[in-house]
Amino acid sequence: MLARCLLRCSQDLVTLALKGTRSVLDLHRACYLLEGSTCSRKVRYQGVMFDQDEKTWGFSSELLPTRKPYSYMTMESHVAPILGGAARAIHDRIRRQMEAPTEASSS
């Protein structure tokens, strides 16, 4: 069941608002990214977790059969909440931004 929440991604921040709590990832600061997948009732999920400033949070989204997970690490269960298709697009964007060289490292 998809969670009722709000996931937003701007140029600088990823924000997840869920049940009165708000989790924020600053895309311009160092963080740990953990990715994995799990299967439940024949549905595969891609889970992503962030750790920044000693705060850990994340989400899962359904992994389409035609799509490979970013990581082949297996998770025991999905990362709550389970979000819809926009979460996959945001996950893709976060990965692209994290993999891009920074201005400081490219000079």
Residue-by-residue pLDDT tens, the chain, 107 positions: 455 688 999 989 999 998 888 999 998 898 999 999 998 878 889 999 999 999 999 999 988 888 888 887 899 888 989 888 788 888 888 888 877 765 544 44
Torsion of CA 56, 61, 65, 69, to 10 degrees: -20
| pLDDT at res. 105 | 47
Q: Are 46 and 70 in contact (CB under 8 A)?
A: yes
| CB within 8 Å of 42: residues ≥ 6 apart | none
| pLDDT at res. 92 | 87
Three-class SS of 16-67: EEECCEEEEEECCCCCEEEEEEEEECCEEEEEEEEEECCEEEEEEEECCCCC
Name the residue among 57, 63, 95, 98 with its Cα closest to residue 79.
57
The pTM of the full predicted model, rounded to 2 decimals, is 0.80
| pLDDT at res. 106 | 47
Instruction: Give the chain's end-to-end CA distance (angstroms, integer).
Output: 46
